[in-house]
Amino acid sequence: MAEGVIEHRSYARVGLLGNPSDVYFGRTISFSLSNFWATVVLRPSDELVITPHPKHDLVNFSSLDHLVNRLQSEGYYGGVRLLMAICKVFYNYCREHKISLHQRKFALSYDTNIPRQAGLSGSSAIVSAALNCLLDFYKVRDQIKVEIRPNLVLSAEKELGIVAGLQDRVAQIYGGLVYMEFSQEHMDKLGHGIYTPMDINLLPPLHLVYAENPSDSGKVHSTVKQRWLDGDKFIITTMAEVADLALHGKTAILEKNYSKLAELMNRNFDLRRSMFGDDVIGALNIKMVEAARKVGAASKFTGSGGAVIVFCPNGQSQVKLLEEECRKAGFIVEPVKIAQSNLSRG
């Protein structure tokens, strides 16, 4: 790599248990998924440049047909806005906290292979990789605590109207498998949750199932959040039960009680479905979960829809049945690869 060039990779993330209670002062267990990633490269430059991606930020089209088809499959937004937003949030944070930054300039570019709208946190992967580049370029990694960095990633996304919680950003900044508590007391007192890394080798083999043309993951929290804020008892008690699944899941994982883990995963999806309803969850997402359940596997969303995480407690023979069921339904199945923790690098 050329002198002064900084490159960081940030992986997709899977919410294993407790999501979406991270938005409701709950608890979650998540891990970073090394099957997919985003990379951001920072090069020293005479001008400050945010480089558009040749595919994801396309502005030249062969025809009107091409333009419309591209928008229908990829949406209006690429990654340029994400890189700009984290630059702004990083700069403002450093200014507010009297962290001095040198005046040298840079060019930022990105690439990603994370499937779009699959509930795998593709946007925050780009943002967290870019934040790591900025921390190294300005040599301020020691001045911005690791617990705070997920907040910066989330702030950048909030600038752009992306609806999300801290869970995804914690999983991507920390890497590996992480148990997270977001109690109101911690959030008010510390400004962040309590994040406990766990050994990735405690997990059984897992599989990812996703659709090639999934739903939009950004609209899913909306009505439930309002009902929760309005004091809806059903939503408040059900969301608290979802948060408890992560607490019980932590024990199950530590004890390698995988039948309990399967039960908790299934319960997580059933509780989500009871709160959000089938119209919000979407027929395609339900079909994915049911494809796994049809063969006796446990399954739930990785995020807000578009992909599911599956555990086959009966081993390889059940995996074969899962693959066959998903092939018939037109879904993709991949064995999960869990990324190592990032914490050793600071």
Catalytic site positions: 168
- Phi first, then psi, for residue 177 (nearest 5°) are -110, 130
Taking only the tens place, the pLDDT of each residue in 324-337 is 999 999 999 999 99
Coil/strand/helix, residue 235: helix
- 150-174 in b/e form (b: 16+ CB < 10 A) is bbbbbbbbeeeebebbbbbbbbbbb
168 versus 77: the higher-pLDDT residue is 168
Confidence of residue 212 (pLDDT cuts 50, 70, 90): confident
What pLDDT is attached to residue 115? 86
What pLDDT is attached to residue 216? 44
pLDDT at position 220 over 60: no
What pLDDT is attached to residue 344? 67
pLDDT at position 217 over 50: no
Helix-helix angle 167-174:122-137, to 10 degrees? 50
Tokens of 174: 């920390």
Tokens of 17: 């248990």
**Contact residues for 29 (Cβ-Cβ < 8 A; gap 6+):** 15, 16, 17, 18, 177, 178, 179, 180, 198, 246, 249, 250, 253
Tokens of 294: 């049809």
What pLDDT is attached to residue 141? 96
The alpha carbon of 251 is separated from its chain's Cα centroid by a whole number of angstroms, namely 23
Tokens of 220: 């899913």
pTM for this predicted structure: 0.90
Taking only the tens place, the pLDDT of each residue in 125-163 is 999 999 999 999 999 999 999 999 999 999 999 998 887
Q: What angle do CA 36, 164, 298 make, to 5 degrees?
A: 60
Alpha helices (H) in the chain, listed in sequence order: 64-74, 80-96, 122-137, 149-159, 167-174, 184-190, 222-229, 233-254, 258-276, 278-281, 283-294, 316-329
Task: Choose among 218, 212, 177, 198: nearest CA to 13.
Answer: 177
Look-up: residue for tokens 């809806």? 232
Average pLDDT over residues 179-195: 93
d(CA 215, CA 218): 9
Taking only the tens place, the pLDDT of each residue in 247-264 is 999 999 999 999 999 999
Taking only the tens place, the pLDDT of each residue in 18-37 is 999 999 999 999 999 999 99
Q: What is the dihedral of CA 33, 339, 311, 121, to 10 degrees?
A: -20
**What is the chain's mean pLDDT, rounded?**
92
